[in-house]
Amino acid sequence: MYAGTATATASVATAAVLGAGMLLMSNPGAPLPDAPATLRTVQQAGPVRHATDAMARGPRVYAHRGASAYAPENTLVAVDRADALGFDWVENDVQLTRDGVPVVMHDTGLKRTTNAEEVFPDRAPWAVKDFTAAEISRLDAGSWFGARYAGTRVPTLRQFLRRLGHNRQNLLLEIKSPGTYPGIERVTLKVLNEEGWLDRAHVRDRLVIQSFGAGSVRTVHALRPDVVTGFLGAPAVAKLPAYAEFTDQINPPSAGLSGGYVAAVHALKGPHGKKLQVSPWTVNDAASARKVDGMGVDGIITNAPDVVRAATKG
């Protein structure tokens, strides 16, 4: 299905990507330096604590927004739940507050997953970008999911990274709605750097940065060419070589994915000279997991990592 979708949207997106990339490459800014050794205290080099990825024969399983079938999404509780279930890889969504702090939140509005309406009744439409980090830190991001999670907070990216480091987990970081947040790529990389997530060990094995915004992915690649990147979407096959210049992964919606499309992606090499990878989302039941596994995907992004692992580990 995907293999033949040479849509106008994809063509426009590709043109925009190439244009943005040329601009960036002409002035990518100073490279971000490695973090000082003193900042690398939480995450140290070495193998991840869990052995699940290495032991299981099956695609890498990403706990989507944490183990979000079982705990409030994009919170430290959801990270810990993924850890308790034995999962190394966690996906999240990063946006910027009004004062430029990266926070972990999926929606561009605060209404669905916090009590922002109650705490700030006069601040409609409760957009993340209109609130400071201090204001967001006052919100309850757990009660919507269940009373037992009352008091759970919206984590900053920095807090999120520290919890992952403590748990020895890895991160599939999504830059959400990049058009809303000019400069979010540089700010995100700065925090990653300060927290030790851009050292050699993390860059090699423990971090992927992805976005629906192809220009955003290209910006990350231009700023830090060593970082593994992913594009969220399913570009037409004819357009894939252009994407392979700046992204290591093509991560499409699972609906409509075909083995032919996966093979077309796999036929290409990414900017680091390795086979382009495919990790579809969001696959939450065993039958769907088996189906995409049968297509040869490299990873599966899921709210229920235990279900996917059980269905795919061979």
266 catalytic? Reply is: no
Using rule CB under 6 A, residue 248 touches ligand G3P: no
Closest to ligand G3P by CB, 106 vs 163, is 106
Reduced to 3 states (helix: H, G, I; strand: E, B; else coil), residue 173 is strand
Distance between CA 3 and CA 268 in Å, rounded? 14
Q: Which two tokens stand for residue 274?
A: 């390795």
C-beta closer to ligand G3P: residue 90 or 222: 90
93: contact with Ca ion by CB under 5 A = yes
The answer to whether 106 is a known catalytic residue is yes
60 binds ligand G3P, rule: CB under 6 A: no
Select from ligand G3P, Ca ion, none the partner in contact with residue 232, using the beta carbon and a kind-dependent cut-off of 5 to 8 Å: ligand G3P
Closer CB to Ca ion, residue 35 or residue 292?
A: 292
Tell which positions 128-187 bind Ca ion, by CB under 5 A. Answer: 174
Which amino acid would we find at residue 179? G
Query: What is the C-alpha separation between 304 and 59, in angstroms, rounded?
Result: 14
Q: Does 83 bind ligand G3P (CB under 6 A)?
A: no
- DSSP code of 299? E
In 3D, which of 185, 179, 100 has the Cα closest to residue 134? 100
Using CB under 6 A, which of 79, 232, 236, 300 touches ligand G3P? 232
DSSP state letters, 88-146: -EEEEEEEE-TTS-EEE-SSSBSTTTS-HHHHSTTSTT-BGGGS-HHHHTTS-SSTTT-
Half-sphere exposure of 280 (CA within 13 A, CB side): 25
Contacts of ligand G3P in 116-175 (CB under 6 A): 174
Shortest distance, CB of residue 96 to ligand G3P, whole angstroms?
16
Task: Say which residues have a Cβ less than 8 Å from residue 208's Cβ, sequence separation at least 6.
Answer: 171, 172, 173, 228, 229, 230, 248, 249
Please give the residue whose beta carbon sits closest to ligand G3P in the complex. Answer: 281
Three-state secondary-structure class, residue 300: strand
Residue 73 contact, options ligand G3P, Ca ion, none, Cβ 5-8 Å cut-off depending on partner type: none
199 binds ligand G3P (CB under 6 A): no
Tell me how far apart the alpha carbons of residues 228 and 248 are, in angstroms, rounded to a whole number.
6
Residue nearest Ca ion (C-beta atom): 174
Binding partner of 153, given ligand G3P, Ca ion, none, CB within 5-8 angstroms per partner class: none
Which amino acid does the sequence have at 215?
G
Residue 93 sits in the site that holds ligand G3P (CB under 6 A): yes
The active-site residue out of 50, 64, 202, 221 is 64
Catalytic residue set: 64, 106
Residues that bind ligand G3P (CB under 6 A): 64, 91, 93, 106, 174, 232, 251, 281-282, 301
